[in-house]
Amino acid sequence: MKVRVLGCSGAIGKDCRTTSFLFDHDVLVDAGTGVGDLTLDEMCRIDHVLLTHSHLDHVIALPLMVDAIAARRTTPLQVHALQATIDALKAHIFNNTIWPDFSRIPTPAEPFISFHPLELGQTLLLAGKQVEVLPAVHTVPTVGYAVAAGQGYWAFTGDTERNPALWARLNQMDVAMLVIETAFSNRERDLARRSLHLSPHALADELSCIQRGKNYPIYITHAKPAELELIMAEIQRFDQAGPLGPDVAHDIRWLRAGQEFEL
């Protein structure tokens, strides 16, 4: 399975694209601004979109992508999300005021998109890929995802703060790669806590929940561009200092748009 990082930034700016991951050619996880780098042909091959939550940086490209490819598709684009996320999209985006309701046009019987509610803990089979819905802790209903691959699971926390339920599940899984958010620096840790995001300080606490003996690459995502260098330096300091104990080391790396992984 191939994973392509379309976007992994916490905001926009030059060379900064918000969250979106493409699996092989047909499954999209989140629909941030990175989707805009795809060609029309690449967009047309996407059949499923999995959304973590309703915040704009994770859904902003969805209505624009559908508009770009609708005339070229013969079946609806399937959007999978929590019911609360679907309700928010219908109320605030696909509401015929901000954007047309593509779930009812050109006809309700044959729409451009179809919504499919999912639930925490559910396992889905999409385009031959097994996807498990993981818990997340955020200001709106949110989930993460684990996608089964040949060498274990690609796991994504989504936007989250401290999340013991996530680690309880990940410690039961064969994780090949973990993508975890760290949106703010330690100097903004109070803001991070209030907005239910991680700072490097909180990240260290979270990584201490990984079961001893498990060692997989951990990729940092969703950093705010204005604080990227500071966040990187703070994570590097705690990682080198070994606050989790002298016999505990984590393989921490930085996620970048344009990266591709074979799992």
Domain boundaries, the chain: 1-118, 119-254
Give the pLDDT mean for 92-104: 97
pLDDT at 238: 73
Confidence of residue 246 (pLDDT cuts 50, 70, 90): very low
Confidence of residue 113 (pLDDT cuts 50, 70, 90): very high
User: The tokens of 61 are what?
Assistant: 């490209």
pLDDT at 243: 45
DSSP 18: B
Q: Which helix (H) or strand (E) holds 217?
A: strand 217-221
| For the chain, the helix, strand and coil percentages under 3-state DSSP, each to the nearest 5 | 30, 30, 40
Q: Which helix (H) or strand (E) holds 233?
A: helix 228-241
1-118: which CATH number, 3.30.420.240, 3.40.50.1220, 3.20.20.120, 3.60.15.10? 3.60.15.10
The model's pLDDT over 194-237, given as tens digits with 9 standing for 90+, comes to 999 999 999 999 999 999 889 899 999 999 999 999 999 999 88
The model's pLDDT over 149-200, given as tens digits with 9 standing for 90+, comes to 888 999 999 999 999 999 999 999 999 999 999 999 999 999 999 999 999 9
CA-closest candidate to residue 177, choices 263, 238, 244 = 263
CATH code for residues 119-254:
3.60.15.10
3-class state of residue 24 by DSSP:
coil
CA-closest candidate to residue 52, choices 155, 129, 166, 145 = 145
Which residues, other chains included, contact 205 with Cβ-Cβ below 8 Å and sequence gap of 6+? 162
Asked if the domains 1-118 and 119-254 are classified in one and the same CATH topology, the answer is yes
pLDDT at 239: 63
pLDDT at 244: 45
The model's pLDDT over 23-53, given as tens digits with 9 standing for 90+, comes to 999 999 999 999 999 999 999 999 999 999 9
CA–CA separation, 104 and 254 (whole Å): 41
What DSSP letter does each residue of 143-206 carry, written as one string?
Answer: EEEEEEETTEEEEE--S-S--HHHHHHHTTS-EEEEEEE--S-GGGHHHHHHTT---HHHHHHH
3-class state of residue 37 by DSSP:
helix
Confidence of residue 2 (pLDDT cuts 50, 70, 90): very high
User: The tokens of 261 are what?
Assistant: 């992984």
